Amino acid sequence: HGYSRDLDKARAKLKEAGYPNGLKLEGITPNEDPWRQLGEVVKAQLAEIGVELHAPLVDRAETRVFFRQGKGDFYVSRWTGRAEADMTITENYHSKGAFNVGNYAAPGLDALIEQARGTFDRAGRQKLYRQIQATIMAQALDVFLVFPYMLIASTQRLQDFEIYGDGKMHLR
């Protein structure tokens, strides 16, 4: 479902969090499109509520170092997802997940994730992942901004080409 644009509510949330005069955030943005444009849009929108964003453009390789070292407050990134929900959920939202560099532990979320990992009944697992998703959205653990189209072109001469659900090209 996501969130609707409500500048007054955003300002109120900042005030409630102890930032009545706004705040400054440090991060980075990959120097490639569409991430460069996305960084510019986010910077302009946050300025409307008093959030100053400092996000210099850097090479993609530098974003990985920045992320792994847990520097700054944010970085603009992409996530292509994985074939199994657990691979995305655990890596990003479990307090010990490889991509949860801040080791943030949302109340009750680790227990839900671990329960889902141990559930083999498809319906039960789906129900748990819906609860996990609701928690992620309610606490705004990530801000999902855009899902760009992925265009793939080929010729009839290319044989045995498969498109994978993770959005990555697997070439062998």
More confident residue, 17 or 163: 17
Task: Return the percentage of the chain with pLDDT > 70, whole number.
Answer: 93
Map residue 88 onto helix, strand or coil.
helix
Residue 171 pLDDT > 90: no
More confident residue, 56 or 83: 56
> So what's the pLDDT on residue 70?
73
CA angle 91, 92, 98 (to 5 degrees): 50
More confident residue, 108 or 78: 108
Helix (H) or strand (E) holding 58: strand 57-58
Tokens 């990555």 belong to 168
Residue 98 pLDDT > 90: no
Residue 60: band (very low, low, confident or very high) from pLDDT cuts 50, 70, 90 = confident
Average pLDDT over residues 64-77: 77
Average model confidence (pLDDT) across the chain: 86
Residue 1 pLDDT > 60: no
More confident residue, 101 or 111: 111
Q: What is the pTM (predicted TM-score) of this model?
A: 0.72
Q: How many residues does the chain have?
A: 172
Contact 132, 85 (CB under 8 A): no
How many Å separate Cα 148 from the centre of its chain? Answer: 14
Torsion of CA 117, 141, 126, 108, to 10 degrees: 60
Give the C-alpha separation, 118 to 104, whole Å.
22
Residue 148: band (very low, low, confident or very high) from pLDDT cuts 50, 70, 90 = low
Pairing of strands 51-54, 74-75: unpaired
